[in-house]
Structure 1
Amino acid sequence: MTSAAFSLPSPVQRRIDRAADDLLNPEGMPRVDFTTPAGEPALVPADSVSWRIFKNPVTLFIGGVSAVLLELAEPGVRDGVWQHSSFRTDALTRLQRTGMAAMVTVYGAKSQAEAMIAGVVRAHDRVRGTTSEGRPYHANDPVLLDWVQATASFGFIGAYDRYARALSPAERDRALAEGKPAARLYGAAGAPTSEAEMRDLFARMDDRLVPSPIIAEFLGIMRRVDAFPLAMRPLQFVLLRAATDMLPDHLIERLELDDWRLRTGESTLVKAAARASDRIVLRSAPPALASQRLGLPADYCYRRA
């Protein structure tokens, strides 16, 4: 099978690798070794659709933002995040932790992923309170857990499909089903495992999704945070628009996000960035390191693109 990977000049490749490593492994955070234990599989198999999707940093950014917009539309998730996290004061660290959690879930050795998820579940058990609408919430409420898992799948799979490479209906269903082991560990036993189940869940949750000033505050923070290397910073605002544009039209209107839709010509720019990102092997990033753990070439995910 022919590789779809780019060959970049060595100095450029080193700079890109270093930037990716700095983003996922900042000083002060525990470093995850994706190369060990040698031979241990991940929760998701290496030949999965998920391994292809999660290698793309551009669509991960877009999909992650899209997921958070949907999560912040649900009052229990919204206030759980805003009242119990450091997002407002240290957004970049929170993003880095969330990004690393996604990487461990998909590419980490199964024992590492299970231990990490167990820690998250314990931490979430302490997250409870009352929404600004006066309703009690608990982060480990199965309904909220199902919604968070669903929005993540909607964002990551949808962004890759829309901007990087179109996935067939069977591939989209397979990617959703591949998330089931992790979803169960998180307590999201009802998370959708097919597009039909995803549509049903969105329909059931629709009445619960409401506008909030916190959504605009989140987008403002994401516009300012240094999520990408300096050279890519001008693209960041466009990627935020791309994330918003993925939401169903009626939700964009309800959440008062019409000004955050993609402008004419911006979709072409986003697709070019996502498709390029899909072909650049980041040798210090989890997909390449996890491939090494399993005795596979660093560009294994790209050979299957």
Structure 2
Amino acid sequence: MFIGGLRALLLQSLHPLAMAAVAAHSGYRGDPWGRLQRTSTFLAVTTYGTADDAQQAVEHVRAVHEQVQGTTAAGERYHAVDPRLLGWVHVAEVDSFLCAHQRYGAHPLDAAGCDAYIADMARVAAALGVIDPPRDQAELADRLAAYRPELRSTQEAREAAHFILRHPPLPWIARAPYVVLAANAVSTLPLWARKPLRLPHLPGIEETCVRPAGHALTRTIRWAMAPSRPSPP
């Protein structure tokens, strides 16, 4: 979730309309962890909550999206309820979480499991207003490819990447593990997404240093967050 979430933010920033909406309305600079907590809560409720709780969470997000609209510096109009923008945010998120899980998860999914995850996420996307969200790996890959002509680097996207990766508001003790998570998030991005954001590609170093450090850190996080077991009587 940590690595996938960072990857999703970086990938989503490449859509100029989606990034303009985030920059103008999300307050990610002033309260980045609050925004992350709200997003995490939504994912948790729609994944593990009751159907009623999930529906309430969806309705709340849709109400927030109704208020998010404006015009980019280039004069392009955006509105967060636009199904096309919602679709981009959705596919970038699903692809990122699935990619991170397959590389760093304790139990990677087989092909059927990947398709099932994408299909489950499609139910939430449809409730939010996405039209015909992808429901398997082939559809997800096709949808990502279909968005690529719309993607480009903007000043807002580069500033967001710089803030997320280099200047997160964290105490010094948390900086080292965060750097490992961020480096691994970047390493999972395809080259076509890295270049516009001016993110490095370091073949050899990524395989021998970055990924092993990512595996070690995610194993440590899983161990630290595992539920405690009651002591035997």
Q: Is the TM value for this pair above 0.5?
A: yes
- Superposition TM-score, scaled by structure 1 size: 0.67
**Superposed counterparts of 1:1-305, under 5 Å:** 60-164=1-105, 165-222=107-164, 223-225=166-168, 232-258=174-200, 263=206, 264-279=208-223, 281-283=225-227
Helix, strand or coil at the partner of 1:258: coil
Query: C-alpha displacement at 1:260, in angstroms?
Result: 8.6
The root-mean-square deviation of aligned C-alpha atoms, in Å, is: 2.5
Percent of aligned positions with the same letter in both sequences?
A: 31
Q: 1:265 to 1:215 in 2, by over 3 A?
A: same
In structure 1, what is the Cα distance between the partners aligned to 2:201 and 2:24? Answer: 27
Q: 1:221 to 1:250 in 2, by over 3 A?
A: closer
Structure 2 runs not aligned, ≥5 long: none
Deviation digits for residues 2-36 of structure 1 (CA, Å, limit 9, x no counterpart): xxxxxxxxxxxxxxxxxxxxxxxxxxxxxxxxxxx
In structure 2, what is the Cα distance between the partners aligned to 1:232 and 1:108? Answer: 30
In structure 2, what is the Cα distance between the partners aligned to 1:271 and 1:100? Answer: 25
In structure 1, what is the Cα distance between the partners aligned to 2:176 and 2:122? Answer: 36
Contact 1:242–1:270 (8 Å) recurs in 2: yes
Query: C-alpha displacement at 1:220, in angstroms?
Result: 3.5
Query: C-alpha displacement at 1:202, in angstroms?
Result: 1.2
In structure 2, what is the Cα distance between the partners aligned to 1:240 and 1:213? Answer: 20
Bigger share in helix: 2
Q: 1:178 to 1:278 in 2, by over 3 A?
A: farther
Query: C-alpha displacement at 1:199, in angstroms?
Result: 1.1
Structure 1 runs not aligned, ≥5 long: 1-59, 285-296, 299-305
Contact 1:147–1:191 (8 Å) recurs in 2: no
In structure 2, what is the Cα distance between the partners aligned to 1:130 and 1:137? Answer: 6
Helix, strand or coil at the partner of 1:179: helix
AA at the equivalent of 1:162: R
AA at the equivalent of 2:2: F
Query: C-alpha displacement at 1:279, in angstroms?
Result: 5.0
Contact 2:16–2:151 (8 Å) recurs in 1: yes
Greater relative contact order, per chain length (Cα 8 Å cut-off, separation 6+)? 1
